[in-house]
Structure 1
Amino acid sequence: MTISAGDKLPELTLKEATADGMNEVTTKDLFSGKKVVLFAVPGAFTPTCHLNHLPGYLENRDTILAKGVDEIAVLSVNDGFVMDAWAKASNGAGKIRFVADWDAAFTKAIGMDMDLSAGTLGVRSKRYSMIVEDGVVTSLNVEDNPGQVANSGAAAIIEQL
């Protein structure tokens, strides 16, 4: 079942690199009592994700936060070390949170998984963005084509805030 606006996100554990090493972060910790913009990408460093989707959120970070958002996070079915390297390579470290859904448990639980084995990527997340308020999805934007950022980019989120 695919998550929809009005649904509560499941409580699962993700990974996040910090100065103290690789830490677990629960979805409860990430979303509880906050307004969060979460966007997901099929893969860190992949062309559309690295050159189009992520940069829009980094460039519009201050605008998004000024609209009452407490935090912006990017999620991918990658391990925490890859997400940490991506945060550093993109100059996004400390600006937005880079969370790893290392085993795709979260992605599968919300029905956003897709099999990209034909492209050598295996099980990955669909490209989407959402606004989450206190753990409840208030807005959801899913791309039909994982190679495009048409309705899940920063500009769409800004209009919805």
Structure 2
Amino acid sequence: MSSGRLCLQLFSTSTLRRMALKIGDKLPSVDLHEGNPGVKVNIADLFAGKKGIIFGVPGAFTPGCSKTHLPGYLSDYDKIKTAGVDLIACISVNDAFVMAAWGDEHKVSGKIRMLADTTASFTKAIGMELDLTEALGNVRSKRYALIHSVGTIKPLFW
């Protein structure tokens, strides 16, 4: 991420757009899934009292997300941790099994939490939904990155 870009912007090759979530807001209390559909993780609880990065992508195993987005956070993991980040989470509108398999393929265990937003509840709550029904079969997430710091959303400069 280049210095000066706010975390609340969608990084896109065509345009930058604002999220519904704003600096100073709290994360919405939404349950996501990790590993399998039986394991629920409340995103607000997961990040409570922590400094963390949440990034969203349109889909696991999609070309851009697999070649650039997820690997970028993985390759910068040490720099991110040195900057004081406690937790990194990747969120996509996929099922928990797909997110787990994608994380396994990229060897993110212990570094990046792979969270499935199966119904796009979190994605819609922060205003980052994108209708990709024709291309990917349903509503998906726009690409975004945000930093959470002890209860609220902050700018991200990387």
Answer yes or no: same fold by TM over 0.5.
yes
Amino acid at match of 1:123: V
Indicate yes or no: 2:46 matched with 1:30. Answer: yes
Partner of 2:23: 5
* Alignment length (residue pairs): 140
Secondary structure in 1 matching 2:78: helix
**Offset, 1:137:** 1.0
CA RMSD of aligned residues (A): 1.7
Indicate yes or no: 2:115 matched with 1:99. Answer: yes
Partner of 1:58: 74
Task: Assess if the C-alpha contact under 8 Å between 2:30 and 2:121 holds in 1.
Answer: yes
Listed as ranges, the gaps of 5+ residues in structure 2 are 1-18
Partner of 2:95: 79
Identity of aligned residues (%): 50
Listed as ranges, the gaps of 5+ residues in structure 1 are 140-156
In 2, the alpha carbon distance for the partners of 1:86 and 1:93 equals 11
Please give the TM-score of this superposition, normalised by the length of structure 2.
Answer: 0.83
**Offset, 1:138:** 0.6
Secondary structure in 2 matching 1:36: strand
Partner of 1:124: 140
Q: Encode CA deviations 1:79-124: one digit per residue, 9 max, x unaligned.
A: 1110000011111122210011111001011111010112133100
Secondary structure in 1 matching 2:35: strand
**Offset, 1:39:** 0.6
Q: Which fold has the larger relative contact order, with Cα–Cα distance below 8 Å and residues 6 or more apart in sequence?
A: 2
**Offset, 1:22:** 4.0
Task: Assess if the C-alpha contact under 8 Å between 1:37 and 1:130 holds in 2.
Answer: yes
In 2, the alpha carbon distance for the partners of 1:104 and 1:90 equals 23
Partner of 1:145: none
In 2, the alpha carbon distance for the partners of 1:76 and 1:123 equals 11
Partner of 2:86: 70
